[in-house]
Structure 1
Amino acid sequence: MRTNEYDDRDRERIVPEPPKRVDAPVRTPFERDRARVVHAAASRRLAAKTQVVGPQSDDFVRNRLTHSLEVAQIARDLARALGCHPDITETAALAHDLGHPPFGHNGEQVLDALSEPCGGFEGNAQTLRLLSRLEAKTFDADGHSVGLNLTRATLDACTKYPWPREIPGTKFGAYADDLPVFTWMRDGRTDHRTCVEAQVMDLADDVAYSVHDVEDGIVADRIDLTGLTDPGLRREVWQTTRDWYLPDATDDAFEEALARMQTQGSWQRSSYDGSRRSLAALKNLTSDLIGRFCGSVQAAMVATYGSDSFVRYRADLVIPDETLLEITVLKGVAAHLVMRTDERREVMTRQRELLAELVAGLVDRPDRLDAAFANDHGDAIDDAARLRVVIDQVASLTDASAHAWHERFVGTA
């Protein structure tokens, strides 16, 4: 890795910081960024936020924190192989889910609808808000929080969707009142292109949750890969995969992608039974799939660009179509066999009701907000700004604390 590929503008912070005292450990600006995200309160809260199976359901299955650690490992290894800065990319991976509210994407959809009067809700926009405002570490000369005061390159790498809200219901990366920091971060760019470090983070996220959600579903006895020998079940899975991910893909394309993965020696030939041998076989499959996907991308990058370092906007990540289809097949398996079950639908309905009732209760009684959010509410200039503060508060809660707040302030959760 050639660190001189990053210049002073990449290392710039919104609030300039003096060098650390001479007896402190010497760290690069990007290493300091990583440490700030690791120690952030929002990072700790990820341990009690839903991944796919709820965090209280089993000691083995993943929560948002363990998922983020695994994404960070994949992102760091891939960044090192490609020649972009591993600290920047790892920090982006550690931060990528910080903005997720209670109950994962289900909670995200509820808060988006409820916050329409103040510009909607998006987990990635909320991540930028946390990193640049809500996480208390640094203040500017006017007394305003600038959050963790990360470097421009790191903050940009954390932004999967580098544009403000354009169409309700679509992804975006910044709320209207966060546009000043967004504009500073983008440093004059007006296009929608993401830096390569953000693209690596995004791929690492896709790889991790496609593989690990299937692994968690297997351990939780929701998924049996040997059941995919049933043509009828496969047809159902392919339809869910189209509904959720790739609407234009054909059954034949999915069948071919599954068949390619099944040629791996570690693919499950018998049902998981909870034994150490079975668990070891499952972990080997997980490792092989991650290596398969990342290796194909690395080879495609070298074939496209040669062996140069891929830094900031020098290149775009190349993901072979076959690899994308294989990743999507795994997502579809988890979506159909875990997230589309009747039991899961009932749980998700109650989660949506709980969050809606909690937001309404806090809008009526803002005195119940935590002190930091109560101060924000007092400083808000209109109803839209006050609603945004309530949404910030609710989004900060874990799954368990959302239930507790609801029980305390609304009724039996």
Structure 2
Amino acid sequence: MTDPGAERLVAEPAKDPGTGRTPYQRDRARVLHSAAFRRLAAKTQVITASGDDFLRTRLTHSLEVAQIAREMGVALGADPDVVDTAGLAHDLGHPPFGHNGEDALDVVAQPAGGFEGNAQTLRVVSRLEAKVPGAGLNLTRATLDAITKYPWGRKPGTRKFNVYPDDQPVFEWYREQAPPDRRCLEAQIMDWADDVAYSVHDLEDGVHAGHVRIELLADPDERDALCADVARVYSPESPGDLRAVLTELLAEPVVEGLARYDGSHLAQSRLKQVTSALVGRLSAVAVRATREKTGPGPLRGYAADLEIPRRARAECALLKGLALRYVMNRPGANARYVRQREILTRLVEALLHRAPDALDPIFAPLWKSAADDAARLRVVIDQVASLTDPAAVAWHDRLAGPLEGAPQ
């Protein structure tokens, strides 16, 4: 009996059966060995990469998401390589400078349909990566579906989507048996693993970098301000309900490891105990709630939805809020964000004037074959999105001239 999830858009010669590798294991290897995956090592997670090699990059974050997703997938009976690959691949489309870069490229890419990191991820794996001409990495249906957090194109009133208009054919191919707008279980596992990883690990990085000082939350006014931030950005819960969850969370003995952090070996050990406990709890509670609803047996595809208890969502949102308030919105951060957006905007403008000669060899032919200005703009956006943070600055300085002022 054939597995329709293992089909690829472009048929490939039969592989050596003696290796015993499944199609999904091959997918994982293709992502792991891709150029886009390697570039994540120099792309910002939350705190810009610097001389402190403790801090996470998009690559280390992706590895952590894959590990969390894999363990959840095993517990629920999903194919572990499918959810693992989705975790590895989920950020391949992110541009330089994290979500700030994503916002900048969305503005300049409006004539071509805008920019979204998840849609760019699909574009990378199904078109831009050099493995199978015309099909990118030529991943299986099941893996492509597992990568898809937002299974729709751009809609009025929503920022998140997973497919640009000119990538619609491959999207329709791998989604042809999927319920409209519904995510498969593997995508839901990956998405929650992503939330858990970046909420907990961004907090860990923020504490280590000295930006997050948990003792500040002893002030009731500061707790109220944090909960207001979270209700505005991350959670449908009221600030009052979030305040109750936050009070209970801060009272837990394990959270004491966040206080009075001084970078010593003992302090780092305590901090790691906090992150391990939080990751384990938030992932296990989703597995347990899902099993309580479905019972035993393997779950995959559209056989079930991942159940995430309300309390776990609130805790995760509060952890995100700590990074938002004390890291992303810390004093002086906005000036750096403005500078990063200016770098990407000017770089796109410079490449539009100097293409195709200034483009990488992989993108220059795409520019020459583009049918109109919107298609040529999309090629330039693809080029800029592929760059690492340092490469984006170097390309900008070479093609547009350095900005005045201190380094970004």
Residue 404 of structure 1 aligns to a residue whose secondary structure is helix
1:395/1:149 Cα in 2 relative to 1: closer, same or farther (>3 Å)? same
Cα shift at 1:16: 1.5
Which amino acid in the other structure matches residue 111 of structure 1? Answer: L
Cα shift at 1:251: 2.5
Query: What's 1:116 paired with?
Result: 110
Query: What's 1:21 paired with?
Result: 16
Which amino acid in the other structure matches residue 106 of structure 2? Answer: D
**Distance across 1 between alignment mates of 2:103 and 2:86:** 23
CA RMSD of aligned residues (A): 1.4
Which amino acid in the other structure matches residue 254 of structure 1? Answer: L
Query: What's 1:253 paired with?
Result: 241
Query: What's 1:132 paired with?
Result: 126
Match of 1:199 among 185, 188, 192: 188
Q: How does 1:283-302 map to 2 (within 5 A)?
A: 283-302=272-291
Cα shift at 1:57: 4.7
Which amino acid in the other structure matches residue 399 of structure 1? Answer: D
Contact (CA 8 Å) 2:224, 2:243: kept in 1 or not? no
Query: What's 1:142 paired with?
Result: none
Query: What's 2:385 paired with?
Result: 395
Which amino acid in the other structure matches residue 26 of structure 2? Answer: R
Cα shift at 1:190: 5.4
Q: How does 1:153-164 map to 2 (within 5 A)?
A: 153-164=142-153
Which amino acid in the other structure matches residue 31 of structure 1? Answer: Q
1:262-315 deviation line (CA, Å, top 9, x unaligned) = 343321263101110110000000000011111111111111111132110000
Stretch of structure 1 that moved more, 283-292 or 167-176: 167-176
Contact (CA 8 Å) 1:118, 1:387: kept in 2 or not? yes
1:169/1:392 Cα in 2 relative to 1: closer, same or farther (>3 Å)? farther
**Distance across 2 between alignment mates of 1:407 and 1:170:** 30
Q: Does 1:321 align with 2:336?
A: no
How many residue pairs get aligned? The number is 401
Structure 2's unaligned 5+ residue stretches are 404-408
Q: Does 1:40 align with 2:34?
A: yes
Contact (CA 8 Å) 1:226, 1:268: kept in 2 or not? no
Identity %: 51
1:329-351 deviation line (CA, Å, top 9, x unaligned) = 00011100111123111100000
Q: Does 1:267 align with 2:271?
A: no
**Distance across 1 between alignment mates of 2:158 and 2:350:** 24
Query: What's 2:62 paired with?
Result: 68
Query: What's 1:365 paired with?
Result: 354
Which amino acid in the other structure matches residue 252 of structure 1? Answer: G
Cα shift at 1:78: 0.6
Query: What's 1:411 paired with?
Result: 401
Which amino acid in the other structure matches residue 323 of structure 1? Answer: A
Stretch of structure 1 that moved more, 250-259 or 128-137: 250-259
Which amino acid in the other structure matches residue 257 of structure 1? Answer: V
Cα shift at 1:243: 2.4
Cα shift at 1:317: 0.6
Query: What's 1:55 paired with?
Result: 49
Q: How does 1:221-260 map to 2 (within 5 A)?
A: 221-246=210-235, 248-260=236-248
Contact (CA 8 Å) 1:77, 1:86: kept in 2 or not? yes
1:178/1:164 Cα in 2 relative to 1: closer, same or farther (>3 Å)? same
Contact (CA 8 Å) 1:120, 1:168: kept in 2 or not? no
**Distance across 1 between alignment mates of 2:292 and 2:16:** 46
**Distance across 1 between alignment mates of 2:177 and 2:218:** 53
Cα shift at 1:22: 5.6
Cα shift at 1:260: 3.0
Which amino acid in the other structure matches residue 243 of structure 2? Answer: E
1:57/1:329 Cα in 2 relative to 1: closer, same or farther (>3 Å)? farther
Q: Normalising to structure 1: TM-score of the pair?
A: 0.94
Contact (CA 8 Å) 1:71, 1:201: kept in 2 or not? yes
Contact (CA 8 Å) 1:161, 1:173: kept in 2 or not? yes
Residue 371 of structure 1 aligns to a residue whose secondary structure is coil
Q: Does 1:146 align with 2:141?
A: no
Query: What's 1:377 paired with?
Result: 367
Q: Normalising to structure 2: TM-score of the pair?
A: 0.96
Contact (CA 8 Å) 1:92, 1:201: kept in 2 or not? yes
Cα shift at 1:111: 0.7
1:307/1:190 Cα in 2 relative to 1: closer, same or farther (>3 Å)? closer
Cα shift at 1:28: 0.5
